[in-house]
Amino acid sequence: LVSSENHPTRSTVRVAGVPIGGDHMTVIAGPCAVETPDQTLRAAQMAKAAGAALLRGGAYKPRTSPYAFQGLGETGLKILADVRAETGLPIVTEVVDAADVELVAGYADMLQIGTRNMQNFALLQAAGEAGRPVMLKRGMNATIEEWLMAAEYIAQRGNLDIVLCERGIRTFEKATRNTLDISAVPVAQRLSHLPVIVDPSHSGGKRELVLPLSRAAIAVGADGIIVDVHPHPETALCDGPQALVDSDIPELADIAATLPALL
């Protein structure tokens, strides 16, 4: 269902009217985690100033450590909905458990399935039935074929509004959090008709790498980028070191505004 063999034209996925794919280069930005109403609103304003058309923000956080901040749950979803009402930015947010899909879909404009859940087949199937577009991140240890097969689980349930997100894979390299597999973008775009975006924040894991990796993503022909921003990353409850700050926003806006011309 997601293969380009049976679907030679590339798909555009619409998230509350915002296109991802086709001639568009879509920027999604926001905090890694929803922490407070003020932090989320300020991050959304940063996202908007950067030219983002969609707001990201996790209310359910799949953390490596069970002692780390796990997200605000439904309280976080309500904060996102309030910020959407205030800024007009539709929401992309992660769901980590099949049992929560209906609840999250009640608030979200797009469901995000994270790297750790790429092969959580019950979650993929539930997301496929939720009536919302789905962003499927590549598993950090997954081949491109496994990633596309995971997308197939969603599509099989009748939902072809799927966006693939390359977010870096595990390699021997320790200088970056993950290794951004930039070649995965054109490979996945050739094998599949689905739009492919890049997460330069979770791949690089360091603020100073996010803008260069964003440029790389766009130069290689990605359909968009999803970027962490935070008004006070030094106090962030999740992934502060990779969040862009206020002073980075003009450059992100510049990338968002000028590089689509290269496509």
Write out the residues near ligand PEP by the rule CB under 6 A.
32, 58, 62, 94, 114-115, 137, 167, 199, 202
Q: Which CB, 11 or 115, lies closer to ligand PEP? A: 115
In whole angstroms, the minimum distance from the beta carbon of 131 to ligand PEP comes to: 22
In whole angstroms, the minimum distance from the beta carbon of 95 to ligand PEP comes to: 11
Exposed/middle/buried for residue 262 (C-beta within 10 Å: 0-12, 13-18, 19+) = exposed
Q: Which CB, 168 or 231, lies closer to ligand PEP? A: 168
Q: Which CB, 69 or 103, lies closer to ligand PEP? A: 69
Q: Which CB, 1 or 27, lies closer to ligand PEP? A: 27
> Could you give the residue ranges of the DSSP H alpha helices within 3-140?
37-49, 74-87, 101-107, 121-128
Residue of closest CB approach to ligand PEP: 114
Torsion of CA 62, 253, 188, 112, to 10 degrees: 30
Q: Is 205 left (phi over 0), alpha (psi -120 to 50) or beta?
A: left
Give the span between the Cα atoms of 146 and 119, in whole angstroms. Answer: 8
In whole angstroms, the minimum distance from the beta carbon of 200 to ligand PEP comes to: 11
In whole angstroms, the minimum distance from the beta carbon of 167 to ligand PEP comes to: 4
Q: Which CB, 58 or 195, lies closer to ligand PEP? A: 58
Give the span between the Cα atoms of 243 and 40, in whole angstroms. Answer: 13
In whole angstroms, the minimum distance from the beta carbon of 116 to ligand PEP comes to: 6
Per-residue CA distances from 84 to 55, 91, 97 (Å): 8, 7, 23
